[in-house]
């Protein structure tokens, strides 16, 4: 009763093909986005916006990227961290050396560079599959990080190797500061949010038009897809390119809007695994799942480390770290057992329940 | 031109100028490769029997070594410590089968893979909570003198590791071929459903194979531990075993050994002779690029079963 789709009649093809055809869904999503843009900066404080919302949104962008590749196109990748690094380093190069370009362009250029790298490392996917491919993408992870830390050109011959990000205005020297230490947390948050919303919209639309359908055909069975006329070369490489573009933008935003420097440590293999967890826990092949998974995996360790304090227990710090590992491991296994299709599937089930309430059969 | 020279001429000139040094580098690499092979062996055993890509193998090595060295430090004699550790690893195998594999049976491979990462987190937390995070030296009486073959210096401990690895492979091969359990293991590896239909208890097989992998992890842990000390970085060697796996093929025990040797030797030789040209520390990624190059020609690894796909 609460969630209804009965009685909604469409009178045009355009309405039939809309992104959110049920008014209830539409108003909910519009309300959520409006809250994120207007309400959140008003109610959120420095900690909530700067240390929770910004990283969660950025990681959600990266998770969307990996979800396109793994969830939609079925190509398992463990190189997400490296593709993020490619975006971050290239965005830094563009922002410093081509300073007449506004910073959003630099970030998109980082994504573009990352897409090229992604295509390069996606070529083996034409020949190898499954876990063999996953290990092959590890080659990208280790090689690219080595490249960025050993070739000084990428950091403008900076001696420390970890260059700080300058304060950039939105459009060269006009508009509010959006990156760097001086920028207000609200500005950085809104800047990241705009990217997240647009990329989510793009991903959602890509997934349901021709390109997304061919990805899913390749995922479900690539030989059968090839026989019905889907070109594996185009499909797989486009999945790699677009996925890496998302990851690259996420990596650039991470450097520009969150940690304020380009640090290789932020893009290690642990990051790749973290994002893989996000899409598995959130739901493979679901844009909503990318956001839910990113929030869950990012907040879980924070909650776990705060929990003894909230409960008034006095536990030594190193024990908390070990306990965190253990609980994290158990929770991951628990979630996989209870709902292998992730949080997105739970959301779907909740909607089903709400539809039947209060008369379940 | 200079770059080409440094890439294609100088290293070979150096090799021919000092052949004994080259031999030394090569044997050093081969011996390191043996260590990678031992980790890869654990992966292969589990992948063959259950199709699970067990990311926790590296942490199992750390966990077994931590228990072993912890018990020895507590004054337990070596043999007894070994037996207790094996018992612990069997218990771990039981727990994994009961609480992870059984509820997840018939799920997709990637879900099982993720679950093993969960197991890795858990074991790491437990091991370090009980035994602490300090680096613990491990001495089980492996000789560590050096001797010379011609002018090449060889570590006795490396040789010992090679002998142990060889012994382990022979024992495993005999076990797989001549015992009833071994035959059941091979049947399960071949086809789960067919094995079930002729009455092989799948759950038992999984416990056994995870126990065997735990045993291999203990041996690996002792070898690595006496070389580097028992510490957290042991679990990272799992990442080094991955290129060995794709090189040798996920399902082949000889593949794990040969792959390990190729990776070990290749990476040492490349680091010594070509490392300077690339700016050093190429060991980090060389193994992966090497494995990737092999994959282009044989997508299933050197010894893997040919992948046949049907629509």
Is residue B303 one of the residues assigned to a domain? no
Query: For residue B262, what are the contacts with CB-CB under 8 A and spacing of at least 6?
Result: B33, B247, B290
Q: How far, in Å, CA of A292 to CA of A320, rounded?
A: 25
Is residue B292 one of the residues assigned to a domain? yes
Is residue B308 one of the residues assigned to a domain? no
- Best of A70, A337, A341 to substitute, by most chain B Cβ atoms within 10 angstroms, is A337
Residue of A nearest to B51 (CA): A131
Tokens of A240: 């790699």
User: How far is the alpha carbon of A357 from chain B, nearest alpha carbon, in Å?
Assistant: 30
Residue B134 has pLDDT above 90, yes or no: no
Is residue B115 one of the residues assigned to a domain? yes
At B220, which CATH number? 1.10.3470
Tokens of B206: 């999984």
**Residues B156 and B170 sit within 8 Å (Cβ to Cβ):** no
Give chain B positions within 8 Å (CB) of A132: 246, 250, 295, 299-301
Q: Tell which residue, B54, B38, B26, has the closest CA to residue B244.
A: B38
* Contact assignment for B129 to A280 by CB distance below 8 Å: no
Report the range out of A197-201, A221-225, B276-280 with the highest average pLDDT.
A197-201
Label residue A190 by pLDDT band (50, 70, 90).
very high
Number of domains in chain B: 1
Residue B311 has pLDDT above 70, yes or no: no
Tokens of B246: 């794709």
User: Is B168 near chain A, with CB under 8 Å?
Assistant: no
User: How far is the alpha carbon of A127 from chain B, nearest alpha carbon, in Å?
Assistant: 7
Where b means 16+ CB within 10 Å and e means fewer, B61-71 reads bbbbbbbbbbb
Residue with tokens 């076990």: B175
pLDDT confidence of residue A99: 83
User: Is B303 near chain A, with CB under 8 Å?
Assistant: no
Give chain B positions within 8 Å (CB) of A146: 281-282, 284-285
Provide the ipTM: 0.84
User: Is A333 near chain B, with CB under 8 Å?
Assistant: yes
Residue A202 has pLDDT above 90, yes or no: yes
Is residue B304 one of the residues assigned to a domain? no
Residue of B nearest to A128 (CA): B299
- Best of B63, B99, B114, B132 to substitute, by most chain A Cβ atoms within 10 angstroms, is B114
Q: How far, in Å, CA of A92 to CA of A260, rounded?
A: 11
Q: What is the mean pLDDT of residues B83-112?
A: 88
β-strands A174-177, A169-171 pairing: antiparallel
User: How far is the alpha carbon of A201 from chain B, nearest alpha carbon, in Å?
Assistant: 27
Question: For residue range B102-126, what is the model confidence (pLDDT) as tens digits?
Answer: 888 777 888 888 889 889 989 988 8
Residue with tokens 């031999």: B23
Residue of B nearest to A317 (CA): B129
Range of weakest confidence among A140-144, A342-346, B61-65, B175-179: B175-179
pLDDT confidence of residue A48: 86
What percent of chain B clears pLDDT 70, i.e. is strictly above it?
95
Where b means 16+ CB within 10 Å and e means fewer, A26-46 reads eeeeeeeeeebeeebbeebee
Q: Is B103 exposed, middle or buried (0-12, 13-18, 19+ CB in 10 A)?
A: middle
**Residues A259 and A86 sit within 8 Å (Cβ to Cβ):** no
Residue A91 has pLDDT above 90, yes or no: yes
Q: How far, in Å, CA of B242 to CA of B138, rounded?
A: 26
pLDDT confidence of residue B49: 76
- When CB atoms are compared, the residue of B120, B246, B310 closest to A135 is B246
- When CB atoms are compared, the residue of B114, B289, B301 closest to A139 is B289
- When CB atoms are compared, the residue of A124, A130, A340 closest to B107 is A340
Query: For residue A134, what are the contacts with CB-CB under 8 A and spacing of at least 6?
Result: A76, A77, A78
Complete DSSP assignment for chain B = -HHHIIIIIHHHHHHHH-HHHHHHHHHHHHHHHHHHHHHHHHHHHHHHHH----TTHHHHHHHHHHHHHHHHHTT--HHHHHHHHHHHHHHHHHHHIIIIITTTTT--HHHHHHHHHHHHHHHHHHHHHHH-SS-B---S-----EEEETTEEEEHHHHHHHHHHHHHHHHHHHHHHHSHHHHHHHHHHH-HHHHHHTT--HHHHHHHHHHHHHHHHHHHHHHHHHHH-B-GGGGGHHHHHHHHHHHH-TT-HHHHHHHHHHHHHHHHHIIIIIHHHHTS-THHHHHHHHHHHHHHH-TT-SSSPPP----
User: Is B289 near chain A, with CB under 8 Å?
Assistant: yes
Residue A159 has pLDDT above 70, yes or no: yes
User: How far is the alpha carbon of A150 from chain B, nearest alpha carbon, in Å?
Assistant: 7
Is residue B239 one of the residues assigned to a domain? yes
Using CA atoms, how far residue A163 sits from A89, A253, B159, in Å, is: 10, 15, 46
pLDDT confidence of residue B41: 87
Is residue B311 one of the residues assigned to a domain? no
User: Is A357 near chain B, with CB under 8 Å?
Assistant: no
Q: How far, in Å, CA of B44 to CA of B54, rounded?
A: 9
Is residue B305 one of the residues assigned to a domain? no
| Domain containing residue B39 | 2-297
User: Is A32 near chain B, with CB under 8 Å?
Assistant: no
Q: What are phi and psi of B187, to 5 degrees?
A: -65, -45
- Best of B47, B125, B270 to substitute, by most chain A Cβ atoms within 10 angstroms, is B125
Range of weakest confidence among A93-107, A174-188, B228-242: B228-242
Question: For residue range A292-311, what is the model confidence (pLDDT) as tens digits?
Answer: 999 999 998 888 888 877 88
Range of weakest confidence among A50-54, A327-331, B110-114, B230-234: B230-234
Helix (H, G, I), strand (E, B), or coil: what is residue A297?
Answer: helix
CB-side neighbour CA atoms (13 Å) of B7: 5
Label residue A235 by pLDDT band (50, 70, 90).
very high
- When CB atoms are compared, the residue of A130, A325, A332 closest to B125 is A325
User: Is B217 near chain A, with CB under 8 Å?
Assistant: no
Range of weakest confidence among A137-151, A317-331, B62-76: A317-331
pLDDT confidence of residue B150: 67
User: Is A337 near chain B, with CB under 8 Å?
Assistant: yes
What percent of chain A clears pLDDT 90, i.e. is strictly above it?
41
User: Is B243 near chain A, with CB under 8 Å?
Assistant: yes
pLDDT confidence of residue B78: 85
pLDDT confidence of residue B55: 85
Question: For residue range A324-354, what is the model confidence (pLDDT) as tens digits?
Answer: 888 888 988 888 888 888 899 999 898 888 8
- When CB atoms are compared, the residue of A132, A135, A325 closest to B124 is A325
**Residues B239 and A269 sit within 8 Å (Cβ to Cβ):** yes
Give chain A positions within 8 Å (CB) of B106: none
């Amino acid at each position: 009763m609460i969630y209804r789709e009965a009685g909604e009649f469409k009178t045009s093809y355009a309405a039939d093909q809309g992104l959110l055809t049920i008014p209830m869904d539409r108003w909910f999503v519009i309300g959520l986005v409006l809250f994120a843009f207007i309400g959140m900066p008003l109610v959120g404080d420095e900690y909530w916006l700067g240390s929770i919302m910004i990283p969660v949104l950025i990681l959600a962008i990266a998770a969307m990227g990996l979800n396109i590749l793994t969830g939609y196109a079925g190509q398992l990748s463990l190189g997400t961290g490296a593709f993020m690094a490619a975006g971050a380093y290239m965005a830094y190069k563009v922002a410093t050396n081509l300073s007449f370009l506004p910073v959003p362009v630099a970030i998109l250029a980082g994504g573009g560079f990352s897409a090229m790298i992604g295509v390069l490392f996606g070529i083996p996917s034409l020949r190898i599959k499954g876990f063999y491919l996953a290990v092959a993408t590890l080659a990208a992870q280790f090689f690219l990080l080595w490249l960025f830390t050993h070739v000084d050109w990428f950091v403008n011959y900076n001696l420390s190797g970890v260059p700080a990000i300058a304060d950039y205005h939105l459009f060269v020297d006009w508009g509010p500061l959006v990156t760097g230490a001086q920028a207000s947390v609200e500005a950085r948050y809104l800047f990241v949010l705009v990217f997240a919303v647009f990329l989510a919209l793009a991903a959602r639309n890509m997934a349901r038009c021709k390109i997304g359908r061919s990805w899913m055909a390749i995922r479900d069975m690539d030989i059968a897809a090839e026989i019905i006329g889907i070109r594996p070369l185009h499909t797989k490489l486009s999945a790699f390119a677009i996925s890496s573009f998302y990851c690259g933008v996420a990596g650039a935003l991470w450097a520009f809007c969150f940690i304020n420097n380009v640090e290789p440590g932020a893009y290690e293999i642990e990051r790749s695994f973290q994002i893989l967890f996000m899409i598995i826990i959130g739901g493979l092949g679901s844009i909503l799942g990318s956001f839910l998974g990113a929030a869950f995996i990012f907040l879980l360790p924070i909650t776990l480390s705060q929990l003894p304090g909230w409960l008034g227990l006095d536990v030594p710090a190193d024990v908390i770290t070990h306990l965190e590992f253990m609980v994290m491991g158990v929770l991951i296994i628990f979630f996989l057992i209870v709902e292998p299709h992730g949080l997105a599937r739970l959301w779907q089930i909740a909607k089903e329940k709400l539809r039947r309430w209060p008369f379940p059969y | 031109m200079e770059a080409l020279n440094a890439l294609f001429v100088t290293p070979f000139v150096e090799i021919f100028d000092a052949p004994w040094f080259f031999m030394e580098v090569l044997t050093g690499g081969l011996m390191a490769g043996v260590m990678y092979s031992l980790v890869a062996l654990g992966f292969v055993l589990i992948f063959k029997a259950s199709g699970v890509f067990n990311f926790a193998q590296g942490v199992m090595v750390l966990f077994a070594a931590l228990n072993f060295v912890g018990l020895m430090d507590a004054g337990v004699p070596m043999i007894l410590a070994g037996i207790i550790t094996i018992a612990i690893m069997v218990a771990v195998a039981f727990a994994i089968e009961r609480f992870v594999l059984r509820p997840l049976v018939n799920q997709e491979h990637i879900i099982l893979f993720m679950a093993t990462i969960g197991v890795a987190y858990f074991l790491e937390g437990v091991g370090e909570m009980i035994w602490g995070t300090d680096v613990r030296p491990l001495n089980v009486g492996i000789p560590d003198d050096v001797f010379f073959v011609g002018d090449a210096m060889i570590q006795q401990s490396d040789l010992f590791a090679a002998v142990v690895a060889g012994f382990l492979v022979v024992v495993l091969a005999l076990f797989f071929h001549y015992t009833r359990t071994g035959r059941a293991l091979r049947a399960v590896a071949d086809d789960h459903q067919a094995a079930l239909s002729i009455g092989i208890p799948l759950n038992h097989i999984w416990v056994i194979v995870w126990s065997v992998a735990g045993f291999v992890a203990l041996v690996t842990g002792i070898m690595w531990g006496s070389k580097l000390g028992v510490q957290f970085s042991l679990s990272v060697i799992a990442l080094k075993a991955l290129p060995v796996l794709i090189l040798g093929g996920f399902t082949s025990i000889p593949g794990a050994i040969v792959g390990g040797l190729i990776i070990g030797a290749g990476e040492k030789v490349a680091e010594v002779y070509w490392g300077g040209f690339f700016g050093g520390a190429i060991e980090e990624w060389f193994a992966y690029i090497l494995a990737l190059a092999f994959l282009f020609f044989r997508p299933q690894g050197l010894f893997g079963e040919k992948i046949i796909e049907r629509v």
